[in-house]
Structure 1
Amino acid sequence: MDQQLSDLLQRKAEVELRETELRRKQSLEQFREWLKKHPYLKRTRQDDNYLSLYLRTKKYNLNEVFKSYEKQFLFRLKCAKWFDLSDDNVVARLRSHIECGSKYIIKDYSSTEPIIYIQRFEKFDAEKYPVTDIFQSDFSLFGACLELEKAQICGFRLITDFTNVPMSVFTSVTISEVLDWARALISCPGRYKQNILINIPSIAMTFYNIVSTMLPEKLRKRLVMVKNYEELKNFMDVSILPKEFGGNCDENVYIEETLRIFDEKLEMIRKSNDYEIDVSQFSGRLHNDDVGSFRKLEID
């Protein structure tokens, strides 16, 4: 767990998530009791911080929490290579995407505002790396951030910058891979407060129009498209952004902080992917999206 929640974060959790210390304690007990009785999930990560992530994402609606917890395993099975960080060479490659500024976060500009997650496709070397690295690094970096209680409570504001994006980013990926990425991302826990797309090209709009059909209405309403950095000022205070976005801050400072968090939380991300389930029973449900069947297991 992070250190003691600040008064401001505690208040935000209480107001937005209906979280109290007593409710959290009781819900964690019920969560573990449900897991103990689950017929397919034999061994999964069950520390307070990890289970609290699911409770907070679903605002302590236990039926939805259990459904969400099951569902993410469906896509951990189907897209296992995107979650696997057991190979140090893969980790080094994913770190390089942060180091070059392809993606990073802005965390400490406010005590209670969402963490800003920036992705700049211009910085991604699609000639050197497989485009699916974009997907794997997303799951890895989101996973690291979601170890932070601030991210669990305040959520994320996503900023995706398509300015000068190499065409190979789109031509080297299949529709099937994009759909798997979208389904897996939706199934993962986390609170996504706003999604800002900058200078999105027509080919990317084609992908988005396909993906948007599976997005919950709530997420579609939180999407903002702007043509340039100047228009971005209409939706947020850009002074906290790097100078490249018209802000006042040094991008390298944010990159270094993101690398620190990624390195610090790496072992916990790996623990999330260390599980034992009855694959013969569970994997068959990948094709019919039959999730949540066991969320109503009797809890004493």
Structure 2
Amino acid sequence: MSNGYVCTLSPACLERAKAELCEDPNTRKQEINAFRERLLRLPGLNCRTDSLFLLRFLRAKKFDQERSFTLIINYYKRKLEKPDLYATLLPSSIQHVLENDFIVKLDGKDKEGSPVLFYRPGLWDPDKYPAWDILKTSMIIMSKLLEEEDVQVTGVRFLTDLKDFHWQHVKNMPLDYLKFQLSWFQDSMPLRYKGFHNLHEHAVFYHLFTLMKHLMSEKLKSRIFLHGSKVEELLEFIDKDVLPEEYGGTGPPLSGKAYTKVLLESEQDFKEEMRYGFVDMTMHKDNKSKQSEDAMENLSGTYRKLDID
């Protein structure tokens, strides 16, 4: 079952996928089918099985079947941990964040061909919406970006301007939010992170960074760049015509209007996504069939075997 998949990678990205991700066009279909069949055998998981979706995970882990399997299990396990969050994971639910230009997708790409997301946390007013809405916005934008096969290969670069980010913001970031956000980024999202570039960082940022740093993998920490006020350092990674003028470039002003429209038009796709995930672990309390009880017992055994945090 190939779901009619046709590779849409650009020639340049296909060569990168071969060199960097161990992707072999001659065996790609077999890799996808093996991955799909393993997921279909897992009791209690209703998983998307179309090829383009599965390739997100295979490419993120360089076609290592075991690591890809663990990643997709983590991806769906997060839905069990925060069902209320995922129940409203729709573009319409975060329109207020998008229209605030808190997170903006730049029009161009970086020098490696990666999309660039620009964050300005100082624009957040905690009295108007909670920190969880910010995370939902990131989740929706990244999920949408991953629909493009080239992005599965190039990954995404992040810029954050910490100007006007103060204690009032940190105080409104609950510890469970910070931990869940990190686990989602680090262990659950099938995305290649090309770099996290921070500007105008100060004491508040360093306090938060120190708090979270010990939970980060060495790989993630190696992707973090601290530029201070030296916006010109961004030019090493991003061409001048992509960056806005206030950040050393000649590109257009920051505006998320166009991409907000793209996301809002994808509402139905995100509603469809809600169908997938692990079954509700409580449903079997009312279902006394032996088949269901055995399935849940097998699922628990699978978790123990995987030793997923």
Range of TM-score over shorter length: 0.7 to 0.9
Q: What count of residue pairs does the alignment treat as equivalent?
A: 285
Task: Give the 3-state SS of the residue equivalent to 1:163 in structure 2.
Answer: coil
Equivalent residues in 2 for 1:1-300, closer than 5 Å: 4-41=8-45, 43-85=46-88, 91-106=91-106, 108-109=108-109, 112-186=112-186, 187-233=188-234, 235-237=236-238, 239=240, 240-252=242-254, 255-280=256-281, 281=296, 292=306
Q: In 1, distance between residues paired with 2:110 and 2:119? A: 20
Amino acid at match of 1:31: F
Task: Give the 3-state SS of the residue equivalent to 2:67 in structure 1.
Answer: helix
Q: In 1, distance between residues paired with 2:123 and 2:226? A: 20
Contact 1:71 1:291 in 2 (8 A): no
Q: Specify whether residues 273 and 177 from structure 1 end up closer, same or farther in structure 2 by C-alpha distance, changes over 3 A only.
A: same
Largest Rg, 1 or 2: 2
Deviations 1:255-287 (A, max 9, x none): 2342244234443333333225244359x97xx
Q: Specify whether residues 214 and 126 from structure 1 end up closer, same or farther in structure 2 by C-alpha distance, changes over 3 A only.
A: same
Question: What's the TM-score, normalizing by structure 1?
Answer: 0.84
Question: What's the TM-score, normalizing by structure 2?
Answer: 0.82
Q: In 1, distance between residues paired with 2:162 and 2:233? A: 13
Q: Specify whether residues 59 and 194 from structure 1 end up closer, same or farther in structure 2 by C-alpha distance, changes over 3 A only.
A: same
Q: Specify whether residues 148 and 83 from structure 1 end up closer, same or farther in structure 2 by C-alpha distance, changes over 3 A only.
A: farther
Q: In 1, distance between residues paired with 2:60 and 2:142? A: 14
Q: In 2, distance between residues paired with 1:15 and 1:117? A: 25
How far off is 1:197 after superposition? 1.4
Amino acid at match of 1:117: L
Identity of aligned pairs, percent?
20
Q: Specify whether residues 207 and 109 from structure 1 end up closer, same or farther in structure 2 by C-alpha distance, changes over 3 A only.
A: closer
Q: In 2, distance between residues paired with 1:264 and 1:3? A: 24
Higher relative contact order (CA 8 A, sep 6+): 1
Q: In 1, distance between residues paired with 2:232 and 2:112? A: 24
Amino acid at match of 1:62: Q
Contact 1:198 1:228 in 2 (8 A): yes
Task: Give the 3-state SS of the residue equivalent to 1:251 in structure 2.
Answer: coil
Task: Give the 3-state SS of the residue equivalent to 2:196 in structure 1.
Answer: strand
Q: Specify whether residues 177 and 293 from structure 1 end up closer, same or farther in structure 2 by C-alpha distance, changes over 3 A only.
A: closer
Task: Give the 3-state SS of the residue equivalent to 1:268 in structure 2.
Answer: helix
How far off is 1:127 after superposition? 2.4
Structure 2 unaligned blocks of 5 or more: 282-295
Q: In 2, distance between residues paired with 1:2 and 1:163? A: 44
Structure 1 unaligned blocks of 5 or more: 295-300
Task: Give the 3-state SS of the residue equivalent to 1:169 in structure 2.
Answer: helix
Contact 2:77 2:278 in 1 (8 A): no
